[in-house]
Amino acid sequence: MAIEIENLSKEFSQPKNKKKILKVLDNISLKIKDGEFIAFFGPNGCGKTTLLNILSGIDKSTSGTILINKKKPEESKAGFVFQNYNESMLPWRTIEGNISLALEVQGIEGTKKQEIINHLLKKVGLFEHKDKFFYELSGGMKQLTAICRAFAYNPDLLLLDEPFSSLDYSTSRKMGLELLDIWKENKKTTLFISHDVDEAVFLADKVVVLSNRPAKIKGIVEVKLPRPRKLDVLSSKEFFETRNKILRLFEYEK
Amino acid sequence: MKNKKIYYFIVPLIIIIIWAILSNLKIISPLFLSTPQAVFLEIIRLFSSGEIINDILFTLYRTFIGFLIACIIGIPIGLLMGYYDKIYHSLEFIVEFFRSIPATALFPLFILSFGIGDSSKIALTAWAAGLILIINSMYGVHLGKELRIKSAKTMKISGFNLFKKIIFPEALPQIFSGMRIAISLSLVIVIVTEMFIGTNFGLGHRIINAQLVYRISEMYATILITGILGFLINKGFILVEKKIVHWRGK
């Protein structure tokens, strides 16, 4: 098992009233296999982002344990892709420079660094833009750069927090394909947060359906669509069946 | 594009025309207002005789040295205040307090401490410009995006690396805004100190001397030259700024 989450709960005390406690995550247990692509699907504000924060080690759980490749979250490497690429990436650096950051922090320099950057950029079709500054790109290309940076960091697990939700429909599907393309080559255990059920089914091996806050696991739906996936999957019968199964689970006992 | 250039000059031209009418028709006494043509001829005389060159050089020298000292001291203090909460809370009151004292009110104190030579002028300039740089560098750090730091922390970037790779470049646009305000203020302080702290050269010195002996054209000519100097410094700085912090607002 790549990731083992056991009885994970998270409570926040309100800044104004310390006694009032806000429960965000409620007793979440989940096992994720090495190289699995998991999507979390749940309502807005249910605590999905808190879950990723805890997995990446920047936030701590109130109770429960998490092991990532047998290590604690703060000892493992998480490649994090945020929804707001404009505020998470570096506008003063070029595309190449942004990806380079993830390699600099690992002490990778020189030709080795250049090879990794060139390989990733060629893979996603951004190589010819590598010397452009970050702000010169379109939204989709910016997020693609963020994904490349996360892969360049060579993480134990990849965390994506609604990465495509500020992009338009067709761009976000295209970016989904690009993501699957890099992921196929370098199967990182991936956790993908989404509030778009189509996107979740299209990308993932399993979709974890979460309840309203405090988030509990309502159920886990396996996606049996074959890989590699192409856009025509979106109109297949299996796709609709899986999608409807998730939505029924989501609506159930609301 | 061509039309916009015309708009750029239209109001200055109107002002000069009004000035020409008021002065040439002696609606305002020549004791207070010279004619534009007299001021223009005076500017040419000041440059062809070369006597103003030294004044310009001395004023520029004091402005830049004062500004430079302000940058060397002010920017690091501001960055530290922005980065470390403890330093911020320790110095916040002091900085806000000194910032509220007009620099010119400290004239006598600076003359007492640094004498009446260049050092007191430069020190006062560095003081006033330095306070502006402290505030702006501090805000530069404070206004940085939380998410950028969080995102760096997910990659275990911390300490000096976090400062060098994320926080400092993020603060740079705001630091440059501060530098632009500070350099303009430096020129202001230098001109005022040249008027009131003894010196033989400097544009401020020439303006006050011309006024004292009623060489009104020379006074206006020097004021105009000072204005043009300030304008050029500001425009030049904006050009440099655009090159260096090209990502501002994007």
- For chain B, the domain total comes to 2
pLDDT band at B2 (very low <50, low <70, confident <90, very high): low
CB-nearest to B154 from A58, A89, A135 is: A58
pLDDT band at A13 (very low <50, low <70, confident <90, very high): confident
Are the Cβ atoms of B172 and A56 closer than 8 angstroms? Answer: no
Q: Which of A14-18, A50-54, B21-25 bottoms out in mean pLDDT, i.e. has the lowest? A: A14-18
Any domain includes B42: no
pLDDT band at A59 (very low <50, low <70, confident <90, very high): confident
Q: Which residues of B touch A91 (CB under 8 A)?
A: 247, 250
Separation between Cα atoms, residue A110 and residue B112, nearest integer Å: 57
Same domain, B64 and B188: yes
Cis omega (within 30 of 0) for bond into A214: yes
How far is residue B73 CA from its own chain's centroid?
Answer: 16
pLDDT of residue A45: 77
**DSSP H helices in chain A:** 48-56, 85-88, 95-104, 110-124, 139-152, 169-185, 197-203, 237-251
Same domain, B121 and B213: yes
Q: Which of B51, B43, B22 is nearest to B221 (CA)?
A: B43
Amino acid symbol at A177: L
Q: How many CB atoms lie within 10 A of CB B20?
A: 13
Write out pLDDT tens, residues A122-143: 988 899 999 999 999 999 999 9
Tokens of A76: 């493992």
Are the Cβ atoms of B247 and A78 closer than 8 angstroms? Answer: no
Instruction: Tell me: ipTM over 0.85.
Output: yes
Maximum CA pair distance of chain A? Answer: 56
Same domain, B24 and B82: no
pLDDT of residue A151: 93
Any domain includes B195: yes
A15: pLDDT strictly greater than 80: no
pLDDT band at A48 (very low <50, low <70, confident <90, very high): confident
Are the Cβ atoms of B151 and A88 closer than 8 angstroms? Answer: yes
Write out pLDDT tens, residues B144-158: 999 999 999 999 999
Any domain includes B250: no
Are the Cβ atoms of A101 and B165 closer than 8 angstroms? Answer: yes
Same domain, B52 and B167: yes
Any domain includes B63: yes
A17: pLDDT strictly greater than 90: no
Query: Which is higher by pLDDT, A14 or A146?
Result: A146
In chain B, the residue whose alpha carbon lies closest to the alpha carbon of A98 is B165
Residues 6+ apart with CB under 8 A from B43: B221, B224, B225
Any domain includes B128: yes
Same domain, B18 and B55: no
A75 reaches B (C-beta below 8 A): no
Q: Report the relative pairing of strands A157-161 and A78-81 from DSSP bridges.
A: parallel
Separation between Cα atoms, residue A155 and residue A157, nearest integer Å: 5
In chain A, the residue whose alpha carbon lies closest to the alpha carbon of B149 is A88
A250: pLDDT strictly greater than 90: no
Are the Cβ atoms of A84 and B247 closer than 8 angstroms? Answer: no
In chain A, the residue whose alpha carbon lies closest to the alpha carbon of B250 is A135
Q: Which residues of B touch A101 (CB under 8 A)?
A: 152, 155, 157, 165
Same domain, B125 and B180: yes
- For A94-114, what is the mean pLDDT? 95
Any domain includes B133: yes
A89 reaches B (C-beta below 8 A): yes
Rg (CA), chain B: 22
Are the Cβ atoms of B156 and A87 closer than 8 angstroms? Answer: no
Q: Which residues of A touch B154 (CB under 8 A)?
A: 56-58, 78-80
Same domain, B147 and B62: yes
Same domain, B211 and B98: yes
Same domain, B121 and B229: yes
Mean pLDDT, chain A, integer: 90
Any domain includes B38: no
In CATH, what number is assigned to the domain containing residue B54?
A: 1.10.3720.10
- Measure the N-to-C terminal CA separation of chain B; round to a whole number of Å: 24
* 8 A C-beta contact, residue A43 and residue A195: yes
pLDDT band at B209 (very low <50, low <70, confident <90, very high): very high
Amino acid symbol at B146: E
- Considering the entire predicted model, what is its pTM? 0.88
pLDDT of residue A143: 93
pLDDT of residue B1: 53
Are the Cβ atoms of A105 and B156 closer than 8 angstroms? Answer: yes
Angle at which helix A169-185 crosses helix A110-124, to 10 degrees, equals: 130
pLDDT of residue A73: 87
Half-sphere exposure of residue A122: CA atoms within 13 angstroms, side-chain side: 6
Rg (CA), chain A: 18
In chain A, the residue whose alpha carbon lies closest to the alpha carbon of B164 is A101
Same domain, B102 and B176: yes
Which residue out of A76, A92, A108, A154 would a mutagenesis test of the B interface target, given it has the greatest number of B Cβ atoms within 10 Å? A92
A147 reaches B (C-beta below 8 A): no
pLDDT band at B7 (very low <50, low <70, confident <90, very high): confident
Q: Which residues of B touch A84 (CB under 8 A)?
A: 147
Residue B107 belongs to what domain range?
48-244
Q: Which residues of A touch B153 (CB under 8 A)?
A: 58
Same domain, B55 and B131: yes
Any domain includes B99: yes
Residue A158, φ and ψ in degrees, nearest 5: -110, 125
pLDDT of residue B15: 94
Same domain, B120 and B10: no
- Measure the N-to-C terminal CA separation of chain A; round to a whole number of Å: 32
Distance from CA of A27 to the nearest CA of B (A): 24
pLDDT of residue B6: 83
Mean pLDDT, chain B, integer: 93
B48: pLDDT strictly greater than 90: yes
pLDDT band at A253 (very low <50, low <70, confident <90, very high): low
Concatenated DSSP letters for A44-105? Answer: TTSSHHHHHHHHHTSS--SEEEEEETTB-GGGS-EEEE-S-HHHHS-TTSBHHHHHHHHHHT
Write out pLDDT tens, residues B218-234: 999 999 999 999 999 99
Q: Return the sign of the alpha-carbon dihedral for residues B174, B180, B183, B184.
A: negative
Q: Which of B147, B152, B166 is nearest to A79 (CA)?
A: B152
Which residues make beta-bridge pairs with A3? A32, A68
Which residue out of B149, B153, B154 would a mutagenesis test of the A interface target, given it has the greatest number of A Cβ atoms within 10 Å? B154
Which residues make beta-bridge pairs with A219? A209
